[in-house]
Amino acid sequence: MEKISINTIKRMKSDGEKITALTAYDFNMAKLLDEVGLEIILVGDSVNMVVYGEENTLSADIWMILRHVKAVSRVVQRALVVADMPFMSYQPSIRDAVRNAGFFLSHGGAKGVKLEGGIEFAPTIQKIVESGIPVMGHLGMLPQSVNKYGGFKVQGKTEEQKEYLVESALALEEAGCFSIVLEKIPAELGEKITKTVSIPTIGIGAGPACDGQILVVNDMLGFFEGMNLKFVRKYANLNDIIRQAVREYSKDVKSGAFPSKDESF
Ligand code: KIV
């Protein structure tokens, strides 16, 4: 079994093979995603919203992410496990950024980290990479900057934003990122960035031209009802399946049909 490394991910772009990625936060989900054969499993700070019910990602901290990174890394055999660096774990200083990024590898078992930010984070990324830690960049709509945008709004619509994002993608490549997540930008810009950089782009609401795609697993499985996102395709409706199962359980308990003799000692 070939273990996925950052070299595999980079090679897939040159081979024209699409990269598949999803988030996971717990042992069982990570096991399933790995068995199916996804290349990247991201322990996203989206855990703060889809598991803990917060309205954004800002209150996720390194302890929360570490706990989930450990649960995921423990079981994954093949996929590349990437830990998302939470808000304020890398912004205050390069020193904090390197130390906290390293923590996810040394204590969490991740194989790389992801952080949000453009050209202004290139020196931070460079230092993390120089410390031996693979970095996935993240450009476009950055959820940790939701208050700056005044909502989770599409980015890269103006000429100025487009220029900034292309310039940032090049700076992130130069700083040593092994790939870049592009979130919620026009498909045309997703294509332009993908053609401009030689490292893979992983899109989420960035159109079909990206080298790979990522979604929040709870969104694509219909296991989260917080948001109705245009770029999410629902491949299942787990909420309905769970509601139905719980209804039947409740009915059986009330009627005395559960537990049966066979289910008793
Ligand atoms: O936190 C997360 O799940 C992410 C993905 C949406 C890329 O950053």
The one-letter amino acid code at 34 reads D
Point out the ligand 1 atom lying closest to the alpha carbon of residue 116.
Answer: 8
**Interval 186-199: pLDDT, tens:** 999 999 999 999 99
Q: What is the pLDDT of residues 116-140, one digit of tens each?
A: 999 999 999 999 999 999 999 999 9
Any idea what DSSP says for residue 180?
Answer: E
Residue 28: other Cβ atoms inside 10 A: 10
Pocket test for ligand 1, best of 38, 56, 184, 214 (most atoms within 8 A of CB): 214
DSSP label at residue 22: E
* Residue 43: strand, helix, or coil: strand
Asked whether residue 8 carries a pLDDT value surpassing 80, the answer given is yes
Q: Is there a catalytic annotation at residue 2?
A: no
Residues lining ligand 1, Cβ inside 6 A: 23, 42, 44-46, 84, 181, 204, 214, 216
Average pLDDT over residues 224-240: 92
List Cβ<8 Å contacts ≥24 apart for 15-18. 18/211, 18/212, 18/213
Averaged pLDDT, 33-58: 98
Q: Return the percentage of the chain with pLDDT > 70, whole number.
A: 100
Nearest-CA residue for atom 4 of ligand 1: 44
Q: How far apart are CA 125 and CA 133, in angstroms?
A: 9
The distance in angstroms from the start CA to the end CA of the chain is: 43
pLDDT tens column, 70-87:
999 999 999 999 999 999
Q: What are phi and psi of 246, to 5 degrees?
A: -70, -35
Instruction: Identify the helix (H) or strand (E) that includes residue 183.
Output: strand 179-183
Using 50, 70 and 90 to split pLDDT, how confident is the model at 227? confident
Do 33 and 25 form a contact (C-beta atoms < 8 A)? no
Domain locations in the chain? 6-234, 237-265
Query: Quick one: CATH architecture of 6-234?
Result: Alpha-Beta Barrel (3.20)
